[in-house]
């Protein structure tokens, strides 16, 4: 039986990744990449574990997806991520020619949207606000515990 999943389902999977990051003391952001209704890559923030500022959920998922597909470009993929990507990640998604980006909470300080959608590939579709409350709560709880 072919099961068709929807954006809510995939964003829940990204949130699961964010919870994994939180459990490991990392800023709780998670991502999954979907191709043909199937998750082909997962990632969560691992900047502390890897001592690497580039180890964001999106970058890890992007590299894993390209590895899985055997090609650098992801025009037929959707990336679900719990937080608005930063400039670095948006730049990476642009190079990857991502087909569709779905994100949860907004990030007014660090998010790429302050520069506008033109930072992404012109063909990338963007939607946001998916389950943003849970993503925000996770982040708030994390930073509150840090203080």
Residues belonging to the active site: 58
Using CA atoms in the order 90, 130, 113, 124, what is the torsion angle rounded to 10 degrees?
A: 50
CA-to-CA distance for 16 and 35, rounded, in angstroms?
Answer: 19
Q: Where are the alpha helices (DSSP H) in 40-86?
A: 57-69
Residues 96-115 that bind a copy of itself (CB under 8 A): 96, 115
Residue 125 in the binding site for a copy of itself (CB under 8 A): no
* Shortest spacing between CB 63 and a copy of itself, in angstroms: 5
Residue 39 in the binding site for a copy of itself (CB under 8 A): no
Residue 91 in the binding site for a copy of itself (CB under 8 A): yes
Which residues are CB-contacts of 114 (< 8 A; sequence separation ≥ 6)? Answer: 108
Give the footprint of a copy of itself on this chain (CB under 8 A): 47, 51-54, 59, 62-63, 66-67, 70-73, 86-92, 94-96, 115, 119
């Amino acid at each position: 039986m072919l099961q068709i999943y929807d954006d809510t389902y995939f964003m829940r999977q990204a949130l699961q990744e964010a919870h994994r990051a939180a459990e490991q003391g990392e800023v709780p952001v998670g991502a999954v990449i979907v191709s043909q209704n199937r998750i082909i890559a997962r990632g969560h923030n691992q900047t502390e574990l890897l001592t690497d500022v580039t180890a964001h959920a999106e970058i890890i998922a992007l590299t894993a997806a390209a590895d899985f597909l055997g090609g650098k470009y992801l025009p037929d993929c959707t990336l679900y991520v719990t937080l608005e990507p930063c400039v670095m990640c948006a730049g990476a998604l642009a190079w990857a020619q991502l087909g569709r980006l779905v994100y949860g909470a907004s990030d007014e300080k660090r998010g790429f949207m302050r520069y506008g959608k033109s930072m992404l590939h012109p063909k990338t579709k963007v939607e946001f606000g998916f389950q943003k409350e849970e993503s925000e709560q996770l982040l708030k709880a994390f930073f509150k515990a840090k203080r």
